[in-house]
A and B are shown apart, each in its own frame.
Chain A
Amino acid sequence: MSRITREEVANLARLARLDLAEAELDEYAKQLEIILESVAKVGEVATADVKPMSHATGLVNIFREDKVETSLDREEILKSAPATEDFRFRVPRILDEE
């Protein structure tokens, strides 16, 4: 089990889109190390022939008839949006300006 450095925390935060404050990097480095060391215990179990379990029901590929149904009202949904324009979500720029 390798140590969790503040650089690793910064990288995880970048992947998870979290703009962590400097002070948080140290705090999380310490805590994540303790937690990850503890959960690494799963490695003790011999699992060579075990099929991974993703959920409990065993259900696969649930289909429905391809029928048109009424969905949620557009205006109702946009009511709670942070910003809208012309009945659409308005989002900040996604490309650099240059």
Chain B
Amino acid sequence: MSDLTKLSAFELSQQLQAGSVSAEEVTNAHLDRIEELDKKVQSFLHIDKTGALKQAKEVDSKRKEKQKLSKLAGVPLALKDVLTQKDVPTTCGSKILEGWLPPYDSTVVKNLKNAGIVILGKTNMDEFAMGSSTENSAYFSTKNPWDLTKIPGGSSGGSSAAVSAFFAPLSIGTDTGGSIRQPAAVTGIVGAKPTYGGVSRYGLVAFASSLDQAGPFARTVLDCAMLHEVMAGHDPKDSTSINQRVPDVVAAAQMQDVKGMKIGYIKELNGKGWQPGVINRFNESIELLKSMGAEVKEISLPHSIYALATYYLIAPSEASSNLARFDGMRYGLRVDDGNSSAEEVMNKTREKGFGKEVKRRIMIGTYALSSGYYDAYYAQAQKVRALIAQDLTDAFKEVDVLISPTSPTTAWGLGERVNDPMAMYLADLATLPPSLAGIPAMSVPIGLADEDKLPVGLQIIAPFMQDDRMYRVGGAVEASLKSKWNGLLIDQIPTLGGAS
């Protein structure tokens, strides 16, 4: 592995600013590694070599001209294929959008381009972000770089795999019910879901509009915060965008101190069904936080046990409505024998273009929203959602942040849960309550499980628009573990082979 691909975004940014390396060299180093090793991991759906090198050269010439550049200018990134990038394929992991070239940049992409961040390509994902393993991609399954027979998490599994395989120091995912945090946990990296409304959804192809939120992946908490800062901010193009100052996540990530902080661990997210190795690492991190001077106590969120049922009514309901736009009329796939009516063409296009899980969720949503069932399902779920959010609001009267394991298990084997949708849904158990409440949450690596030597993540949950608090705790945990392990957890990843 070239030294440049080993560096964090922060380290790369220092070298780029000092002029000891060019953006073109950094980009080429990462593209070379992708070319050599992504055939094993399969994290990218599309690699935009030409576009990436063009962006890198632009940064280099601006730097030569002494133009003012952002800190991350010239640092490469992998983008989840659910965010539009002008004239670059955007499939959402679905056949229904195969070949579509978006005519516009999402606001997230616009922000990345303005910061001079080099976009290497688009990463694989569960179709329309529905899944926890990336096996629902219509194209291929991505492998976990820690063990190529395991899943990389989902739905942002291409993005988590790309960063843990050192194909990019940064990537972007989206999180509706855990799709950033769970992939980060099972690949041993850092991933954050900002406050809902903190990052613009303009150009994020919608799955469940009241829950979808884009966020950063990185190998360090500081890198994650630096990318978070670039992505976030008010956008008039998204009417749910929050018009407030972005919390100072970068400063918080560097504090490395939790003295006097009040931290609650969630009573309900523990026990039966949780992998012992996950619980062991989690219990150790409670002790670690105590030893660092935090006050840690148990907090009960009584309605959190209903989060799974609530989410799997609300998200499919919103999806069934959002995905109605894929009708084969204006973009994407059209299945047409030339003699069919528009309605028949729609039926055939959607049947052929959508995969199993997408059709399953569209039908669950259609059921929950249909007259006769609406009150018992969708309307009731919205009320339970309010109670789940209220539990969290009440908890934050007592503590500054909440913690839990990010996922009940480590990465499972490819294929193990594909025919059992309920087993797949259980992976979201811990990540759903903050999603439903719209509050920020992140996952940081806390070690390997004893049973399988696979990464375990700690979920840190903060109050609405207090994203900085989770970075403060995450940064402190990372710093303490780093000195214990003499490096990051990701440094313990087995080599993928190649010229290392």
- Interface positions of A (Cβ within 8 A of B): 9, 12-13, 15-21, 24, 28, 31-32, 34-36, 38-45, 47, 50-57, 59, 62, 64, 72-73, 76-77, 79-83, 89, 91-94, 96
Most chain B beta-carbon neighbours within 10 Å: one of A9, A31, A32, A82: A82
The reply to whether A42 and B313 contact each other, CB–CB distance below 8 Å, is yes
Segment 280-335 of B: residues with Cβ below 8 Å from A: 303, 306, 308-310, 312-313, 320, 324, 327-334
Query: Would you call the interface of chain A mostly helix, strand, loop, or mixed?
Result: loop
The reply to whether B363 and A28 contact each other, CB–CB distance below 8 Å, is yes
Q: Which residues of chain B come closer than 8 Å to A17, judged between CB atoms?
A: 324, 327, 343, 346-347, 350
Partner of B379, one of A9, A20, A52: A52
Q: Which residues of chain B come closer than 8 Å to A96, judged between CB atoms?
A: 341
The reply to whether A50 and B346 contact each other, CB–CB distance below 8 Å, is no
Could you tell me the distance between the alpha carbons of A45 and B309 in the complex, rounded to whole angstroms? 11
Q: Kindly specify which of B42-50, B127-135, B234-242, B442-450 makes contact with the partner chain.
A: B234-242
Could you tell me the distance between the alpha carbons of A91 and B327 in the complex, rounded to whole angstroms? 11
Q: List 13 A-B contacts (CB under 8 A).
A: A18-B359, A20-B359, A24-B359, A35-B421, A42-B309, A42-B380, A43-B380, A47-B383, A53-B385, A53-B386, A57-B242, A80-B102, A82-B331
Known: A35-B422, A57-B197. 11 other contacts (CB 8 A): A41-B306, A42-B381, A45-B303, A45-B383, A45-B384, A72-B103, A80-B331, A82-B334, A92-B342, A92-B344, A94-B343
The reply to whether B340 and A92 contact each other, CB–CB distance below 8 Å, is yes
Query: Cβ of B367 < 8 Å from any Cβ of A?
Result: yes
Query: Cβ of B439 < 8 Å from any Cβ of A?
Result: yes
The reply to whether A32 and B363 contact each other, CB–CB distance below 8 Å, is yes
The reply to whether A15 and B341 contact each other, CB–CB distance below 8 Å, is no
In chain B, what residue has the closest Cβ to A8? Answer: B367
The reply to whether A59 and B240 contact each other, CB–CB distance below 8 Å, is yes
The reply to whether B103 and A79 contact each other, CB–CB distance below 8 Å, is yes
Could you tell me the distance between the alpha carbons of A43 and B373 in the complex, rounded to whole angstroms? 12
In chain A, what residue has the closest Cβ to B348? Answer: A19
The reply to whether B351 and A82 contact each other, CB–CB distance below 8 Å, is no
Interface bits B383-413 vs A (CB < 8 Å: 1, else 0):
1111101000000000000000000000000
The reply to whether A52 and B382 contact each other, CB–CB distance below 8 Å, is yes
Could you tell me the distance between the alpha carbons of A9 and B380 in the complex, rounded to whole angstroms? 22
Query: Cβ of B118 < 8 Å from any Cβ of A?
Result: no
Q: Which residues of chain A come closer than 8 Å to B29, judged between CB atoms?
A: none
The reply to whether B100 and A80 contact each other, CB–CB distance below 8 Å, is yes
The reply to whether B329 and A56 contact each other, CB–CB distance below 8 Å, is no
Q: Which residues of chain B come closer than 8 Å to A59, judged between CB atoms?
A: 197, 239-240, 242
Q: Which residues of chain B come closer than 8 Å to A28, judged between CB atoms?
A: 359-360, 363
Q: Which residues of chain A come closer than 8 Å to B330, judged between CB atoms?
A: 81-82, 89
Q: Which residues of chain A come closer than 8 Å to B53, judged between CB atoms?
A: none
Could you tell me the distance between the alpha carbons of A57 and B439 in the complex, rounded to whole angstroms? 10
Q: Which residues of chain B come closer than 8 Å to A13, judged between CB atoms?
A: 363
The reply to whether B438 and A62 contact each other, CB–CB distance below 8 Å, is no
Query: Cβ of B377 < 8 Å from any Cβ of A?
Result: yes
Q: Using A54-B382, A57-B438, A96-B341 as known contacts, say yes or no to A15 and B366 having CB atoms under 8 A apart.
A: yes
The reply to whether A64 and B236 contact each other, CB–CB distance below 8 Å, is yes
Segment 335-364 of B: residues with Cβ below 8 Å from A: 336, 340-348, 350-351, 354, 359-360, 362-364
The reply to whether B386 and A50 contact each other, CB–CB distance below 8 Å, is yes
The reply to whether A18 and B376 contact each other, CB–CB distance below 8 Å, is no
Which 10 A-B pairs have CB atoms at the shortest separation, nearest pair first?
A56-B438, A52-B382, A82-B334, A53-B386, A19-B347, A47-B383, A55-B210, A76-B103, A19-B351, A62-B239
Could you tell me the distance between the alpha carbons of A37 and B300 in the complex, rounded to whole angstroms? 26
Query: Cβ of B101 < 8 Å from any Cβ of A?
Result: yes
Partner of A16, one of B334, B342, B362: B362
Could you tell me the distance between the alpha carbons of A65 and B306 in the complex, rounded to whole angstroms? 42
Q: Which residues of chain B come closer than 8 Å to A91, judged between CB atoms?
A: 329, 342
In chain A, what residue has the closest Cβ to B100? Answer: A80
Q: B33 to nearest A CB, angstroms?
A: 32
Query: Cβ of B104 < 8 Å from any Cβ of A?
Result: yes
Could you tell me the distance between the alpha carbons of A21 and B350 in the complex, rounded to whole angstroms? 12
Q: Which residues of chain A come closer than 8 Å to B347, judged between CB atoms?
A: 17-19
Q: Which residues of chain B come closer than 8 Å to A62, judged between CB atoms?
A: 239
The reply to whether B329 and A82 contact each other, CB–CB distance below 8 Å, is yes
The reply to whether B384 and A56 contact each other, CB–CB distance below 8 Å, is no
In chain A, what residue has the closest Cβ to B101? Answer: A80
Q: Using A19-B348, A43-B380, A80-B100 as known contacts, say yes or no to A56 and B340 having CB atoms under 8 A apart.
A: no
Could you tell me the distance between the alpha carbons of A73 and B176 in the complex, rounded to whole angstroms? 31
Partner of B364, one of A18, A32, A42, A82: A32
Q: Which residues of chain B come closer than 8 Å to A9, judged between CB atoms?
A: 363
Could you tell me the distance between the alpha carbons of A2 and B324 in the complex, rounded to whole angstroms? 27
The reply to whether A50 and B306 contact each other, CB–CB distance below 8 Å, is no
Interface bits B27-53 vs A (CB < 8 Å: 1, else 0):
000000000000000000000000000
Query: Cβ of B10 < 8 Å from any Cβ of A?
Result: no
Could you tell me the distance between the alpha carbons of A29 and B226 in the complex, rounded to whole angstroms? 47
The reply to whether A54 and B210 contact each other, CB–CB distance below 8 Å, is yes
